[in-house]
Structure formats: C-alpha cells, structure tokens
C-alpha cells in the first residue's frame, strides 16, 4: 500500500540556510503552510514568503537564550500524532494542535565546533536538543510525516517536491526516516566520543558518514565497502577505481613512507602490504632504481610511493614497470603525462591529513581496538648491548631497517645496507625462518651482506638468529630485547665482533 500523503504544512528550523531558498519557495508555491523559528523564520520572511512563528502555536516565546524554542506539546503533538488514530485526531482538535506533515531540520555543527578547537562552553552550546528531538519524532512517525534532517538531502527533497507536487508515499517517508536516524545516531556518537576522550567508559562507538561500495572485497566472491573520506587524503589524477586490495596496500604504503617524512628522497615499493623494495638516496631517481633492485620480481603489480615529487627521469623508469598505484606529494608536469600513458595506472597525490589514532579490526564476535604504533625507534632510544659500538654508517642503517621492520608482517627480519632494503623475511611462524628467507632472497638478487645490518621486530629467545646472521656477514643488529635469555645472543655477538643495540620497544604487526 503506497499510503499517499499530500503535504499541507511544514516546520522548518535549521542552522545552515544553504540550499533552503528553493525549497521554501516551492513549498510556498504548493500552498504549504510554513512554521518556523528564530533565524530560519527571518530568512524565510526575507524571501517574501509568509511564515507562522512557532510562538504563535505554543503561545510561549523562545527562552533561555534560544535553548528552548520548539520543545512544546503543541509542536511535538503535531508531529507525533497518528492520523489513523481517532483518539489522536480528537486530541489535536481539543488542544488546537496543528498537524505537521514535513519537518526540515539542520543540527548545530557539533563536530566542526570540536575540530575548530573551540572552548568547552562553545562546544557544549553546539549540542542540539530541540533539533535532534524534532528529527527523532518526525522519523519515528514516518507513516504520516516526512523528515529532512540534513543539508545533504535538500536536493533530493527538492526533486521530490518537483516530481510529486508535495505528495509522498510510505517508501519516500521511510527512506528519509532512515536518513534521519543515521544523522541522529552519528550526532550522538560524536557527542559521546567527545565526553569519553579519556576512555573512562569501556564502550566502542564509531560512525563514518562517507561510504563507497567497491567492486568486490579481498576476493571476487566477497562484497566490499570502504568507509572514509578518501578525497581528504588524496587527489586522484588518473586510473581505474581502487579495489579493496589496492586500498589496503595504499594504507600500508602511506604508513611506511610517513616514517621518512622530511628526510632525504625515499622510494618504497610494496606488495601485499609489505615493502619489497625501499631505498633512500640523494635523488628520487636513484632511490627508485635502488628500491626496485631490492626485488624486481615482486615489484611487478606493486604499489609505489615517494616522499618527494616524482620527476620526469623517475617517471620514465617507473613507466617501464607494470604497477597498480603510484603515490607522491606531487608529480612534475612531464612525469604526470608519462605515467598517464597507462590508462589503468592509478596516480595519487598524497595530501597532509591527520590519520586516525586508533586501529580497529574485527575479532571473534566483536572488535579489537588499540592505539596505533606511533613509536619510531630513534638514536636516543638505543642501548648499546655489546662491546662493539655500531659505526655511524651502521647506526644510520639500523634505524632505517627498524622503520621498515615496524611496518612488515610478523615474524619478520629486515636486512639493510647503505640505506637500501636488501631483503626481508615476512610473516613467518619462526624468526629463524624469517631470517633464512631474507638471507636467501638477498643472495638471489646478488646482494653482498658483508657489513649489512639486521632488524628484528621482537627479541631473540636463543642465539641462533645472531649466529646465522653473523655467518652471512651481518655486522650490526637492532632488536627490542626483553628475553630472559638476551645475554646468550649478546655473548655470541661479543665473541664474533657483531654490534648490537636494544630499543626496548617491540613492533609486532599481525
């Protein structure tokens, strides 16, 4: 049953007047009686449209500095009455309550006020009471009332007025009700999270308004969606739509390259969320070539990212490689033209954006939430564990390797030399296996590991890893320490003139 309703009255009370003019004019043309309050009432009157102040219904003025305007039985009775209920209709007549068919509300901008760094008093004043109550009431009674709860929905509502001349069916009203409850729940979540900043209440609430359906999820038989403001982080210059797996790789690439923000030109190539090549050089051109040399096989179909502008010479080299995505703070005009020659290649300009401080993932029948690992090992954090002290070059390589290790799937071992990733063992069930994998891979690409350094994401419970590494030519090691058998590895390093530093910070990544 369509349950058609012809709108005869509307209550309009909004914070932002953007986009309201054509709606008010169309309602007026349709002969709809308009009720309003405060600034909205003045705005509509200034358009030359007749409007009835809510005070004329309630016989009560706006009080407490505007905190109480619409909170009155004559307003909410007009919204919440059930028009098929004889008792409700009689009470409307008895108490002279006008029927309200449309409610248009735009809430106080609470989130924007918080983001602006406003005082607590200003933030509290932007907690909407009347507006949120009107939205909930109108949405609850969608059988009889249509609720427009956001400026973002004005155009759709305007089109509805044009198409149906003020008439709506149950499907229309229920759709707008769903939108309204989305607005109200998002609003309340933002307020709760503001009050729960210190996380004294063990409750997890998150609400993201921007969503996009992807072609599929991790595999073609899985549905996938992305919730977030991608355009806030990137300007997309070229290429196909990003897939679920592309987005995961882009996330990994951004997290890794952010470790090198403001440093010398650094280029990284990632595959399945792990770096297969990364190098830091005096030019981005050389950094790319040396990153590619780390594993030219895995680089095929990879995600490429730079911490500085990509120039023409670098773009010409990149163009020889099949890659899914190229990310940089900027591209020279010539570089952009070269890289756009492949129609599906995705080019992204990374913008300065504050990223979430929490990491969330599903687990069992709930979610796990943790702080992001923002700890980057620095020289001042290091404790010299061995008699041998790392040389300046080794120390530089150790910190370089540690940054990569932090962003590689556990268990992991990273081997580096001269600010270049030689190889890494990723996602192994045994740290020994991760080390053996990295050594074998480095040798397969003809890296000389004599004088290279090793980074481990967690401690060594036995001296087997430092022994294997030493035999391969590794001269310095960085690891978090913390094993009750740390001394066994330290003793081996001392006996074989290998330098070891301990960070005190583990970097598991599961």
pLDDT in tens, 117-176: 999 999 999 999 989 999 999 999 999 999 999 999 999 999 999 999 999 999 999 999
Taking 50 as the threshold, does the pLDDT of residue 95 lie above it?
A: yes
Q: Is the pLDDT reported for residue 3 higher than 90?
A: no
Respond yes or no: is residue 272 known to be catalytic.
yes
pLDDT tens digits, 382-391: 999 999 999 9
Tell me the average pLDDT of the chain.
Answer: 94
Residue 242 has pLDDT above 80, yes or no: yes
CA angle 11, 13, 17 (to 5 degrees): 120
User: What's the pLDDT score for residue 74?
Assistant: 87
Active site residue 140: yes
Answer whether residue 37 shows pLDDT above 90: no
User: Residue 151: its pLDDT value, please?
Assistant: 93
Check residues 260 and 3 and name the one with the higher pLDDT.
Answer: 260
Confidence of residue 507 (pLDDT cuts 50, 70, 90): very high
- 1 pLDDT band, cuts 50/70/90, is very low
Please answer whether residues 346 and 237 qualify as being in contact, where contact means their C-beta atoms are separated by less than 8 angstroms: no
Give the active site residue among 45, 140, 175, 186. 140
Q: State the residue for tokens 């150790």.
A: 398
Least confident range of 1-10, 74-83, 108-117, 217-226: 1-10
pLDDT value of position 57: 85
The confidence band for 505, taking pLDDT boundaries of 50, 70 and 90, is: very high
Per-state percent for the chain, helix, strand, coil, to nearest 5: 40, 20, 40
Is the pLDDT at 70 greater than 90, yes or no? no
Mean pLDDT of 51-76: 81
Say whether pLDDT at 354 is over 70: yes
For 431-488, write each residue's pLDDT tens digit. Answer: 999 999 999 999 999 999 999 999 999 999 999 999 999 999 999 999 999 999 999 9
**Between residues 272 and 95, the one the model is more confident about:** 272
Taking the C-alpha atoms of residue 336 and residue 6, their distance in angstroms, rounded to an integer, is 55
Q: Are 479 and 461 in contact (CB under 8 A)?
A: no
Report CA-CA distances (Å) from 408 to 187, 202, 242, 458, 500: 37, 30, 22, 12, 21
Residue burial 476-493, b: 16+ Cβ < 10 Å; e: rest? bbbbbbeeeebebbbebb
What is the average pLDDT across 63-92? 85
Return the pLDDT at 67: 73
Tell me the mean pLDDT in the region 112-118: 92
User: What pLDDT is attached to residue 2?
Assistant: 59
Across the range 294-323, mean pLDDT stands at 97
Tell me the whole-structure pTM to 2 decimals. Answer: 0.88
* Tokens linked to 418: 């001269």
Nearest residue to 93 via CA among 112, 106, 78: 78
Of 25, 238, 272, 312, the catalytic one is 272
In the chain, % of residues over pLDDT 70 = 100
């Amino acid at each position: 049953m369509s349950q058609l309703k012809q709108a005869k009255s509307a209550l309009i009370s909004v914070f932002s007047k953007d986009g309201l003019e054509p709606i008010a004019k169309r309602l007026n043309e349709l002969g709809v009686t308009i009720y309003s309050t405060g600034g909205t009432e003045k705005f509509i009157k200034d358009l030359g449209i007749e409007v009835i102040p809510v005070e004329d219904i309630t016989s009560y003025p706006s009080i407490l500095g505007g905190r109480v305007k619409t909170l009155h039985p004559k307003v909410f009775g007009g919204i919440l009455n059930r028009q098929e209920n004889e008792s409700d209709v009689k009470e409307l007549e008895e108490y002279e309550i006008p029927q309200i068919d449309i409610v248009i509300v735009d809430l106080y901008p609470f989130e924007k006020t918080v983001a602006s760094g406003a005082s607590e008093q200003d933030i509290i004043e932007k907690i909407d009471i009347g507006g949120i109550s009107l939205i909930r009431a109108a949405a609850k009674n969608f059988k009889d009332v249509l609720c427009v709860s956001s400026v973002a929905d004005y155009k759709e509502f305007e089109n509805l007025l044009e198409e149906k001349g003020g008439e709506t069916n149950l499907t229309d009203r229920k759709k707008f009700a769903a939108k309204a409850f989305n607005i109200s729940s998002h609003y309340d979540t933002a307020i709760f999270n503001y009050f729960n900043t210190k996380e004294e209440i063990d409750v997890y609430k998150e609400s993201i308004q921007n969503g996009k359906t992807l072609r599929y999820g991790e595999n073609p038989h899985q549905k996938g969606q992305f919730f977030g403001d991608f355009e806030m982080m990137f300007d997309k210059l070229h290429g196909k739509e990003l897939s679920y797996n592309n987005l995961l790789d882009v996330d990994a690439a951004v997290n890794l390259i952010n470790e090198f923000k403001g440093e010398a030109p650094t280029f990284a190539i990632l595959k399945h969320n792990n770096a297969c090549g990364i190098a830091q050089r005096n030019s981005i051109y050389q950094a790319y070539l040396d990153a590619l040399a780390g594993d030219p096989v895995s680089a095929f179909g990879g995600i490429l990212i730079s911490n500085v502008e990509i120039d023409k010479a670098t773009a010409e080299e990149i163009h020889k490689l099949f890659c899914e995505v190229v990310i940089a703070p900027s591209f020279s005009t010539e570089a952009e033209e070269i890289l756009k020659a492949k129609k599906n290649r995705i080019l992204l300009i990374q913008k300065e954006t504050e990223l979430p401080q929490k990491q969330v993932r599903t687990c069992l029948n709930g979610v796990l939430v943790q702080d992001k690992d923002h700890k980057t090992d620095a020289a001042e954090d290091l404790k010299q564990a061995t008699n041998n002290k790392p040389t300046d070059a080794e120390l530089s390589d150790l910190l370089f390797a540690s940054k990569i290790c932090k962003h590689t799937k556990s268990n992991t071992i990273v081997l580096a030399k001269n600010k270049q990733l030689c190889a890494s063992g990723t996602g192994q069930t045994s740290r020994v296996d991760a080390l053996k994998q990295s050594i074998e891979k480095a040798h397969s690409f003809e890296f000389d590991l004599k004088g290279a350094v090793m980074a481990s994401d967690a401690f060594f419970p036995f001296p087997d890893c430092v022994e294997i590494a030493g035999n391969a030519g590794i001269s310095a090691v960085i690891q978090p320490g913390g094993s009750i058998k740390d001394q066994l590895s330290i003793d081996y390093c001392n006996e074989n003139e290998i330098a070891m530093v301990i960070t005190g910070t583990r970097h598991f990544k599961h």
